[in-house]
A and B are shown apart, each in its own frame.
Chain A
Amino acid sequence: AQSVAQPEDQVNVAEGNPLTVKCTYSVSGNPYLFWYVQYPNRGLQFLLKYITGDNLVKGSYGFEAEFNKSQTSFHLKKPSALVSDSALYFCAVRDVNTNAGKSTFGDGTTLTVKP
């Protein structure tokens, strides 16, 4: 079985400050990990993913995430937040060793960046 947890429903940061959105996962094998962003009444947009290789993954709009196998975490980070980063963020996991072909999504974290 695979699962993912986003422990914070909401994250508030001031513009220009660094931001972190947390994600932890559980899989029986090795994980594929993803971050997506959703703006109001829109579909999700892909931000970045970890498949293999370097634990630090860089993605769109200046976001990055670090895969930490020992802590089973994949936190999303950005050095300097923008008001336009305010949105709903989803972490997703898929167990590499399964053939089910489906990902499990977290419940989402609402990021609010205040000017």
Chain B
Amino acid sequence: DGGITQSPKYLFRKEGQNVTLSCEQNLNHDAMYWYRQDPGQGLRLIYYSQIVNDFQKGDIAEGYSVSREKKESFPLTVTSAQKNPTAFYLCASSIRRGEETQYFGPGTRLLVL
């Protein structure tokens, strides 16, 4: 997990509330990714960014938003439009688009109150 930090480790969301998950990397990587992990479904890509100030939707972007104002930071907001947010969220980065070895953070578990 070295080089990528995610906070908090656990996050609780109330109905109708937006919450933001933090992801920071000090690896000088260009690309960053957000995945959602549910039991038995593997990893599903939410959003990814290959350069500062640019990002693309992944396979399950609805109900989520991101920003990439700095190279080292890629926060994910889970909005109230996401009706089933309970999951384990993983952030990853890679050095550049062609070198796709991804380095993962330790994850944030989001629970709904």
Contact = CB atoms under 8 A, between A and B. Distances in A.
Interface in A73-115: 90, 94, 99-103, 105-108
A100 B43 CA distance: 17
A57 to B, nearest CB: 12
Q: Taking chain B's interface residues, is the majority helix, strand, or loop, or is none over half, making it mixed? A: strand
B58 interface: yes
B50 A43 contact: no
Contacts of A49: 100-101
For chain A, the bracket of interface size reads: 20 to 34
Contact of A34 (B40, B42, B100): B100
A41 interface: yes
Interface string A36-50: 100001111110010
A45 to B, nearest CB: 7
Interface stretch (B14-22, B65-73, B77-85, B103-111): B103-111
A99 B48 CA distance: 13
Contacts of A108: 42
A102 B45 contact: yes
Nearest to B41: A107
A43 B43 contact: no
Given A101-B48, A101-B50, A43 B40 contact: no
Contacts of A105: 35, 42-43
A46 B42 contact: no
B33 interface: yes
A101 B103 CA distance: 15
A114 to B, nearest CB: 22
Given A34-B101, A42-B107, 15 more contacts: A32-B100, A34-B102, A43-B1, A43-B92, A43-B105, A43-B107, A44-B43, A44-B90, A44-B92, A101-B56, A101-B100, A102-B33, A103-B102, A105-B35, A108-B42
Which 10 residue pairs across A and B have the least CB separation, nearest first?
A: A43-B104, A107-B42, A105-B43, A101-B97, A44-B104, A43-B106, A105-B42, A101-B50, A108-B42, A43-B1
